Protein backbone atom coordinates (compact mmCIF):
# COMPACT_ATOMS: atom_id res chain seq x y z
CA UNK A 1 0.00 0.00 0.00
CA UNK A 2 1.06 3.64 -0.41
CA UNK A 3 2.68 4.84 2.79
CA UNK A 4 0.37 7.06 4.81
CA UNK A 5 1.44 9.77 7.23
CA UNK A 6 0.84 8.72 10.85
CA UNK A 7 -0.60 11.16 13.35
CA UNK A 8 -0.66 9.44 16.76
CA UNK A 9 -3.51 10.59 18.98
CA UNK A 10 -2.05 11.59 22.34
CA UNK A 11 -5.43 10.76 23.88
CA UNK A 12 -3.93 7.28 24.42
CA UNK A 13 -0.62 8.59 25.83
CA UNK A 14 0.29 8.66 29.52
CA UNK A 15 -1.12 12.07 30.50
CA UNK A 16 1.24 12.23 33.50
CA UNK A 17 4.21 12.17 31.10
CA UNK A 18 2.82 13.95 28.04
CA UNK A 19 6.00 15.85 27.09
CA UNK A 20 8.07 12.65 27.16
CA UNK A 21 5.37 10.81 25.23
CA UNK A 22 5.37 13.44 22.48
CA UNK A 23 9.18 13.21 22.23
CA UNK A 24 8.97 9.41 22.12
CA UNK A 25 6.48 9.30 19.22
CA UNK A 26 8.49 11.95 17.37
CA UNK A 27 11.62 9.78 17.67
CA UNK A 28 9.61 6.66 16.76
CA UNK A 29 8.65 8.08 13.37
CA UNK A 30 5.35 9.90 13.87
CA UNK A 31 4.74 12.40 11.07
CA UNK A 32 2.29 14.63 12.95
CA UNK A 33 0.98 14.83 16.52
CA UNK A 34 -2.81 14.55 16.81
CA UNK A 35 -4.32 16.49 19.69
CA UNK A 36 -7.92 15.64 20.60
CA UNK A 37 -9.63 18.57 22.29
CA UNK A 38 -12.96 17.65 23.93
CA UNK A 39 -15.29 19.82 25.98
CA UNK A 40 -17.78 17.47 27.69
CA UNK A 41 -20.55 19.18 25.69
CA UNK A 42 -20.01 18.57 21.97
CA UNK A 43 -18.66 15.12 22.94
CA UNK A 44 -19.08 13.24 26.21
CA UNK A 45 -15.47 13.56 27.40
CA UNK A 46 -13.16 16.35 28.56
CA UNK A 47 -9.49 16.38 27.58
CA UNK A 48 -7.04 19.23 27.12
CA UNK A 49 -6.97 22.92 26.25
CA UNK A 50 -4.61 25.45 24.67
CA UNK A 51 -2.33 25.67 27.74
CA UNK A 52 -1.39 22.02 27.29
CA UNK A 53 -0.85 22.48 23.54
CA UNK A 54 1.47 25.39 24.33
CA UNK A 55 3.39 23.36 26.93
CA UNK A 56 3.85 20.48 24.48
CA UNK A 57 5.01 22.71 21.62
CA UNK A 58 8.63 22.76 22.84
CA UNK A 59 8.84 18.95 22.79
CA UNK A 60 8.65 18.51 19.01
CA UNK A 61 8.82 20.36 15.72
CA UNK A 62 6.38 17.95 14.07
CA UNK A 63 3.09 19.54 12.95
CA UNK A 64 0.39 19.74 15.63
CA UNK A 65 -2.83 18.39 14.13
CA UNK A 66 -5.46 19.78 16.49
CA UNK A 67 -8.95 18.28 16.34
CA UNK A 68 -11.44 20.51 18.09
CA UNK A 69 -14.49 18.61 19.37
CA UNK A 70 -15.89 21.66 21.09
CA UNK A 71 -18.90 23.90 20.68
CA UNK A 72 -18.94 26.84 20.32
CA UNK A 73 -15.62 26.64 18.53
CA UNK A 74 -14.98 30.10 17.04
CA UNK A 75 -14.16 31.63 20.43
CA UNK A 76 -11.12 29.37 20.86
CA UNK A 77 -9.48 29.35 17.42
CA UNK A 78 -7.04 32.16 18.16
CA UNK A 79 -5.90 30.60 21.43
CA UNK A 80 -5.16 27.26 19.78
CA UNK A 81 -3.38 29.00 16.90
CA UNK A 82 -1.21 30.98 19.34
CA UNK A 83 -0.54 27.84 21.38
CA UNK A 84 1.13 26.23 18.37
CA UNK A 85 -1.51 24.37 16.36
CA UNK A 86 -0.52 23.94 12.69
CA UNK A 87 -3.72 22.33 11.44
CA UNK A 88 -7.04 23.15 13.12
CA UNK A 89 -9.92 20.81 12.36
CA UNK A 90 -13.53 21.56 13.27
CA UNK A 91 -16.91 19.86 12.94
CA UNK A 92 -19.62 21.48 10.81
CA UNK A 93 -22.07 20.76 13.66
CA UNK A 94 -20.00 22.85 16.11
CA UNK A 95 -21.34 26.22 15.00
CA UNK A 96 -23.88 27.92 12.74
CA UNK A 97 -21.39 29.25 10.14
CA UNK A 98 -18.74 26.68 9.35
CA UNK A 99 -17.56 28.55 6.23
CA UNK A 100 -16.82 31.56 8.43
CA UNK A 101 -14.99 29.29 10.90
CA UNK A 102 -12.79 27.98 8.08
CA UNK A 103 -12.06 31.54 6.95
CA UNK A 104 -11.12 32.45 10.52
CA UNK A 105 -8.66 29.55 10.75
CA UNK A 106 -7.07 30.53 7.44
CA UNK A 107 -6.97 34.16 8.60
CA UNK A 108 -4.86 33.01 11.56
CA UNK A 109 -2.36 31.55 9.09
CA UNK A 110 -3.22 27.92 9.89
CA UNK A 111 -4.35 24.99 7.80
CA UNK A 112 -8.08 24.29 8.10
CA UNK A 113 -9.69 20.88 8.38
CA UNK A 114 -13.29 19.69 8.38
CA UNK A 115 -14.23 16.60 10.34
CA UNK A 116 -17.13 14.37 9.32
CA UNK A 117 -18.82 12.29 12.02
CA UNK A 118 -19.91 8.78 11.00
CA UNK A 119 -23.45 9.99 10.20
CA UNK A 120 -22.36 13.22 8.47
CA UNK A 121 -22.42 12.81 4.68
CA UNK A 122 -19.52 13.65 2.38
CA UNK A 123 -21.91 16.06 0.65
CA UNK A 124 -21.37 18.44 3.57
CA UNK A 125 -18.08 19.32 1.84
CA UNK A 126 -19.68 20.58 -1.39
CA UNK A 127 -19.24 24.28 -0.61
CA UNK A 128 -16.14 23.92 1.59
CA UNK A 129 -13.81 21.80 -0.51
CA UNK A 130 -12.30 24.83 -2.27
CA UNK A 131 -11.35 26.41 1.07
CA UNK A 132 -9.94 23.59 3.19
CA UNK A 133 -6.61 21.77 3.57
CA UNK A 134 -7.78 18.55 5.22
CA UNK A 135 -10.83 16.32 5.55
CA UNK A 136 -10.99 14.15 8.66
CA UNK A 137 -13.31 11.16 8.31
CA UNK A 138 -14.27 9.90 11.77
CA UNK A 139 -14.49 6.13 11.74
CA UNK A 140 -15.87 6.10 15.30
CA UNK A 141 -18.27 8.44 17.03
CA UNK A 142 -15.98 11.05 18.60
CA UNK A 143 -15.33 11.14 22.31
CA UNK A 144 -13.17 8.19 23.27
CA UNK A 145 -10.17 6.18 22.14
CA UNK A 146 -10.25 2.41 21.86
CA UNK A 147 -13.50 2.06 19.89
CA UNK A 148 -14.07 -0.28 16.94
CA UNK A 149 -13.69 0.93 13.36
CA UNK A 150 -17.05 1.59 11.63
CA UNK A 151 -16.55 -0.02 8.24
CA UNK A 152 -19.32 1.96 6.48
CA UNK A 153 -16.89 4.89 6.59
CA UNK A 154 -14.76 3.25 3.90
CA UNK A 155 -17.39 4.26 1.34
CA UNK A 156 -17.20 7.80 2.63
CA UNK A 157 -13.40 7.81 2.33
CA UNK A 158 -13.76 6.74 -1.31
CA UNK A 159 -16.34 9.46 -1.95
CA UNK A 160 -14.19 12.14 -0.33
CA UNK A 161 -11.14 11.02 -2.32
CA UNK A 162 -13.16 11.53 -5.53
CA UNK A 163 -14.23 15.00 -4.39
CA UNK A 164 -10.62 15.92 -3.62
CA UNK A 165 -9.46 14.71 -7.03
CA UNK A 166 -12.23 16.66 -8.73
CA UNK A 167 -11.26 19.82 -6.84
CA UNK A 168 -7.69 19.58 -8.15
CA UNK A 169 -6.47 20.90 -4.79
CA UNK A 170 -3.86 19.52 -2.43
CA UNK A 171 -6.06 18.31 0.45
CA UNK A 172 -5.17 15.65 3.00
CA UNK A 173 -7.68 12.88 3.67
CA UNK A 174 -7.28 11.74 7.26
CA UNK A 175 -9.08 8.91 9.06
CA UNK A 176 -9.53 8.69 12.83
CA UNK A 177 -10.93 5.97 15.07
CA UNK A 178 -10.23 2.27 15.41
CA UNK A 179 -7.25 2.48 13.07
CA UNK A 180 -4.85 -0.45 13.49
CA UNK A 181 -2.49 -2.23 11.08
CA UNK A 182 -5.41 -4.07 9.50
CA UNK A 183 -7.91 -1.19 9.15
CA UNK A 184 -5.05 1.12 8.10
CA UNK A 185 -4.67 -0.91 4.92
CA UNK A 186 -8.41 -0.61 4.16
CA UNK A 187 -8.33 3.16 4.74
CA UNK A 188 -5.32 3.69 2.47
CA UNK A 189 -6.82 1.48 -0.25
CA UNK A 190 -10.00 3.61 -0.01
CA UNK A 191 -7.99 6.82 -0.48
CA UNK A 192 -6.72 8.03 2.91
CA UNK A 193 -3.24 9.56 3.13
CA UNK A 194 -3.10 10.38 6.86
CA UNK A 195 -4.04 7.99 9.67
CA UNK A 196 -4.74 8.94 13.27
CA UNK A 197 -4.04 6.14 15.71
CA UNK A 198 -4.18 6.29 19.49
CA UNK A 199 -4.42 2.77 20.89
CA UNK A 200 -2.49 1.22 18.01
CA UNK A 201 0.45 3.63 18.49
CA UNK A 202 0.72 3.62 22.27
CA UNK A 203 0.03 -0.07 22.97
CA UNK A 204 2.90 -1.89 24.65
CA UNK A 205 4.68 1.26 25.88
CA UNK A 206 7.53 3.38 24.49
CA UNK A 207 9.69 0.44 23.41
CA UNK A 208 6.96 -0.54 20.94
CA UNK A 209 6.16 2.87 19.42
CA UNK A 210 8.54 2.60 16.45
CA UNK A 211 7.29 -0.89 15.54
CA UNK A 212 3.66 0.15 16.02
CA UNK A 213 4.08 3.17 13.72
CA UNK A 214 5.92 1.07 11.14
CA UNK A 215 3.07 -1.46 11.17
CA UNK A 216 0.53 1.34 10.60
CA UNK A 217 2.58 2.53 7.65
CA UNK A 218 2.43 -1.01 6.24
CA UNK A 219 6.14 -1.74 6.65
O1 LIG B 1 -10.78 11.50 18.10
C2 LIG B 1 -10.73 10.49 18.74
C3 LIG B 1 -11.90 10.09 19.50
O4 LIG B 1 -12.85 11.08 19.36
C5 LIG B 1 -9.46 9.68 18.80
O6 LIG B 1 -8.47 10.36 18.05
C7 LIG B 1 -9.61 8.34 18.21
O8 LIG B 1 -10.66 7.65 18.73
C9 LIG B 1 -8.29 7.59 18.28
O10 LIG B 1 -8.31 6.57 19.17
P11 LIG B 1 -8.11 5.06 18.74
O12 LIG B 1 -7.01 5.04 17.72
O13 LIG B 1 -7.75 4.41 20.03
O14 LIG B 1 -9.42 4.59 18.16
Q: What's the 176 CA to ligand 1 centre distance in angstroms?
A: 6
Per the CB < 8 A criterion, the answer to whether 137 and 174 are in contact is yes
- Max alpha carbon distance in the chain (Å)? 45
Helix (H, G, I), strand (E, B) or coil at 136: strand
pLDDT 10s digit of each residue in the chain, 219 long? 589 999 999 999 999 999 999 999 999 999 999 999 999 999 999 999 999 999 999 999 999 999 999 999 999 999 999 999 999 999 999 999 999 999 999 999 999 999 999 999 999 999 999 999 999 999 999 999 999 999 999 999 999 999 999 999 999 999 999 999 999 999 999 999 999 999 999 999 999 999 999 999 998
Q: Whole-prediction pTM value? A: 0.98
Helix (H, G, I), strand (E, B) or coil at 37: strand
Q: Any idea which residues carry the catalytic annotation?
A: 36, 176
Q: What's the 7 CA to ligand 1 centre distance in angstroms?
A: 11
Residues with C-beta less than 6 Å from any ligand 1 atom: 9, 11-12, 34, 36, 67, 140, 142-147, 176-179, 196-200
176 marked as binding residue: yes
Complex ipTM more than 0.90, yes or no: yes
Cα 5 to chain center, whole Å? 11
Q: What is the CATH number of the domain that holds 53?
A: 3.20.20.70
From 140, 141, 209, the mutation candidate for ligand 1 (largest count of ligand atoms within 8 A of CB) is 140
CA distance 52 to 174: 23
Total domains in the fold of the chain? 1
Q: Which residues pair with 193 in a beta bridge?
A: none
Residues spanned by the domain of 40: 5-217
Helix (H, G, I), strand (E, B) or coil at 35: strand
Amino acid sequence: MAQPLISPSILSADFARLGEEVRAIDEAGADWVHVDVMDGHFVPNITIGPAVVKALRRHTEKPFDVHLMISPVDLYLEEFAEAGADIITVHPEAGPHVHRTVQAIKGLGKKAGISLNPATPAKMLDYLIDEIDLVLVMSVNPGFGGQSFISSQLRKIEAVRKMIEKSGRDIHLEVDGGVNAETARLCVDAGADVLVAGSATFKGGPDRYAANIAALKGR
